[in-house]
Amino acid sequence: MGGLETLISAVVEFPEKGVFIPFISKFVYILLSAVYNGGAIGYGLAIIFFTLVLRLILVPLDFANRYFTRKNSKAMEKFKPEIDAVKEQYAGDPIAINKATREVYRKNGHKMGGFCAFSIINLVLTLIIFMTVFYSLRSVADYNVNAQYVNHLQPVYQEYEAKGLFDTNAATVMPDYEEQKNQFTVDIRKAYSNSRVGFLWVTNIWKQDTWVSKTYDWTGFYNATNKVEGSIVPPPKKKGKPLAYFPYDGITKSEWNELGAEARVELHNDYIERTKTQYNTIFGEITPTQKGWNGMLFLLILAGVVTYFSAVINMKLMQSGKKKEDAKPKETQAQYSMRNVKNQGDKPNKPVVDPAMMGKIMKFVLPIIMVWFAMISTAALAIYIIFSSLFATLITMGMRYPVNWLLDWQEKRAAAKRGEDPTTDPDQQPVINPHAKYFKKKLRK
């Protein structure tokens, strides 16, 4: 139960400043902090509950997306005979097909621009939310990596440093050197174990669930924390500018400004070397107990698999309301062609864009993208990706019936206003497009 107790009792801190889009990132911090501090749960479980709350907040956007997508799909079903005729007539000429298709939409009062605008807005908002969560979770991880070191590990080191344990001649001067060294090893490992945050099989949630070590080496620690406010390592030198002041070694800002450029660089490099030595001494004792994979890649595999099946299920749900057309022999289909016999053999009869093919491609591309994001971030993001896909799929499945009911109700209401009988559903047989001359005249203009 030691691991579970550590999981529950470990303290997670949240940065004050937001990243990426600050005000949205700050909202993520507040929401995640409220979930985490609202009960005695580990940070991994807090991410799961945070993901659920975020998905519930986005339900109106998901409902609108499902509604407009299904509405557009139903409209496309009604126009399909005319659009198929257009594609056959102008096969091999994408510009003509595009113009004629727009005329079909205009003639039937269907505003495709509104649907496209909403799709773009929905895509942009989805990307903004994902990237904000991505950067926010990474910021929380970097902040806590620094906090763990400053609040839990560095004090243990400084305690034994004051005793002279790390002096060059400590082995010969200190009579109890070996005892003190062994006790330092025990204390520093205990401090790390009590302050680390894990989740299920992931030992360190602040690192990737990959084949890398469970702890950071100096380079990884430096890259993760040099932008964190209050970090033990100052930010790197900006190109073309002198080194900025950093509040270390008791040097005031005015004293720093009085130093020349070479003195600043020398002081900065000296501090970095001493900090690096301290860090390597601490993790030289911790790393032997933390070797191996940080999670055995299970979260990465789950992120790819769940995202894939989520995309498959969503495609099935989008296509579930479409009416299946009976297969027709080629001879029957040919009589609806608006092309003359002379042109039928010299132009390919292919659509300009195949939505089904695009869906199949995205079904494989999206999981690869999600796995890549999980690999370059922390295990916390992988948890978010997995449960965000699961919750989004469940919510989409739950929206299927209310969305279809709303569209059916709107159709019946519109039919009643036109004086039509909404209970009748005559078969829509394909007919020869009567607007061929109309299209040709428009295209000539």
Closest by CA position to 396, among listed 37, 21, 61, 35: 61
> How far apart, in whole angstroms, are the C-alpha atoms of residue 379 and residue 206?
7
pLDDT on residue 113: 59
Dihedral sign computed on CA atoms, order 218, 222, 224, 228: positive
Residue with tokens 């709303």: 406
* Cβ atoms within 10 Å, residue 43: 25
Q: Residue 235 above 70 pLDDT?
A: yes
Closest CA to 89 of 354, 442, 356: 442
At residue 353 the predicted structure's pLDDT band, cuts being 50, 70 and 90, is very low
User: For position 348, what pLDDT does the model report?
Assistant: 43
> Which pair of structure tokens corresponds to residue 67?
């509604």
In terms of phi and psi (left: phi > 0; alpha: psi -120 to 50; beta: otherwise), the region of 155 is: alpha
Average pLDDT over residues 48-53: 91
- In DSSP notation, 85-102 reads HHHHHTTT-HHHHHHHHH
Distance in angstroms (rounded) separating the CA atoms of residues 137 and 157: 29
Residue 51: the pLDDT is: 92
Average pLDDT over residues 422-440: 49
**What's the confidence (pLDDT) of residue 325?**
47
Residue-wise pLDDT for 124-167, tens only, equals 888 888 999 999 999 999 999 998 898 899 899 988 888 888 88
8 Å CB contact between 412 and 247: no
291-345 pLDDT per residue, tens: 778 888 888 888 888 888 888 887 776 665 555 544 444 433 333 334 443 444 4
pLDDT at 322: 53
Amino acid at 353: V
The alpha carbon of residue 374 and the mean position of all alpha carbons in its chain are separated, in whole angstroms, by 8
Q: Is the pTM of this model over 0.85?
A: no
Half-sphere exposure of 75 (CA within 13 A, CB side): 18
Residues ≥6 apart with Cβ < 8 Å to 280 = 218
425 or 144, greater pLDDT: 144
Give Cα 115 to chain centroid, integer Å.
Answer: 24
pLDDT at residue 61 above 80?
Answer: yes
Give the Cα-Cα-Cα angle 215, 220, 223 (nearest 5 degrees): 140
Q: Per-residue confidence at 109, pLDDT binned at 50, 70, 90? A: low
Three-class SS state of 202: strand
Average of per-residue pLDDT across 238-264: 80
User: 180-192, pLDDT tens digit by residue?
Assistant: 889 989 999 998 8
> Would you call 428 helix, strand, or coil by DSSP?
coil
Q: Say which DSSP state 82 is in.
A: H
Instruction: Work out the widest C-alpha separation in the chain, in whole angstroms.
Output: 105
Residue 433: partners with Cβ closer than 8 Å, 6 or more residues away: 81, 82, 85, 86, 89, 336, 338
Element spanning 165, H or E: none
Joined together, the tokens standing for residue 368 give: 């690869």
d(CA 74, CA 407): 9
In this structure, of 36-50, 110-124, 175-189, 392-406, the range with the lowest mean pLDDT score is 110-124
Confidence of residue 443 (pLDDT cuts 50, 70, 90): low
